[in-house]
Amino acid sequence: MFHAVALLSVPYRRRSWEDIRPTEAMKRMAGDQEFYQLYFQEPGKAEAEMEADVRTTMLKALYSGSGDVPPEQRWRPFFRKSAKFQDTRSLPATLPAWLTQQDIDVFTQEFERTGFRGGLNWYRNIDRTWELTPFLSGAKLCQPALFVAGEVDAVITMYREAFDAMEETVPNLRQKVLLPGAGHWIQQERPFEVNQLLIEFLAGL
């Protein structure tokens, strides 16, 4: 179906026959803490919190997931069960160079129009997706592939094992790049570098 694949920020994670239901795995991983994807499971809960002030939600999301935020203010995927999701993220004193007020205006206007339910429902469907895809057990990603992520992306920290295993799980991996100082939003934080890597990858197919 796809001639080639470029993965940004999230490494390929191969499932196995021994996999347990994703939300159960998350509960085991979180222990006595809350994990953000579990927090999203209850319909309406995260929507109410995030839609109460969409501009603040967008500022916190974009800043706290980036590489510009000090380590102590970075987004935390695990947090106290008594905390709210918005408590895991910080507001910037000033916008980073790659983010403008016009960007925030556009994002705010669109999410005020649509709400966040569509995106959150992806997480709520994660067990169903797992149930429907047993045929992918053990599958490798065999297309020519490029992987690019930020060096300080929390997703790389969470899924370091998957990142380290990509040479085996993605046997036609052409390049694996961690951009120094960048966080989760690499296509915005480092547009020149990301576009250059994509163009070089496509030109080499």
DSSP output for the chain:
--S-EEEESS------TTPPPHHHHHHHHHTTSEEHHHHTTSTTHHHHHHHTTHHHHHHHHHHHTSSSS-GGGS--SEE-TTS-GGGG----SS--TT--HHHHHHHHHHHHHH-SHHHHHHHHTHHHHHHT-GGGTT----S-EEEEEETT-HHHHHTHHHHHTHHHHSTTEEEEEEETT--S-HHHHSHHHHHHHHHHHHHT-
Which of residues 136, 153, 179 is at a domain's end? Answer: 136
* One domain, residues 67 and 144: no
- Does one domain contain both 26 and 65? yes
Instruction: Indicate if 132 and 142 belong to the same structural domain.
Output: no
13-51 residue pLDDT tens: 988 767 789 999 999 999 999 999 999 999 999 999 999
Is residue 11 domain-shared with residue 99, that is, in the same domain? no
Pair (93, 169) in one structural domain: no
Are 106 and 142 members of one domain?
A: no
Strand partners, 176: 147
- Domain holding 48: CATH number? 3.40.50.1820
Residues 183 and 92 occupy one common structural domain: no
Q: Is residue 132 located within the same domain as residue 143?
A: no
Domain that holds residue 32: 20-136
Question: Residue 34 class from Cβ within 10 Å (0-12 exposed, 13-18 middle, 19+ buried)?
Answer: buried
pLDDT band for position 111 (cuts 50, 70, 90) = very high
Tell whether 106 and 199 lie within a shared domain: no
Among 55, 68, 56, CA closest to 95:
68
Tens of pLDDT, residues 44-60: 999 999 999 999 999 99
Q: Are 156 and 125 members of one domain?
A: no
The whole-angstrom separation of Cα 45 and Cα 32 is 20
User: pLDDT band at residue 87, thresholds of 50, 70 and 90?
Assistant: very high
119, 136, 153 — which closes off a domain?
136
Domains of the chain: total? 2
User: Both tokens of residue 93?
Assistant: 């004193």
Whether the model clears a pTM of 0.75, i.e. scores above it, the answer is: yes
At residue 128's C-alpha, the angle toward residues 125 and 132, to 5°, is 135
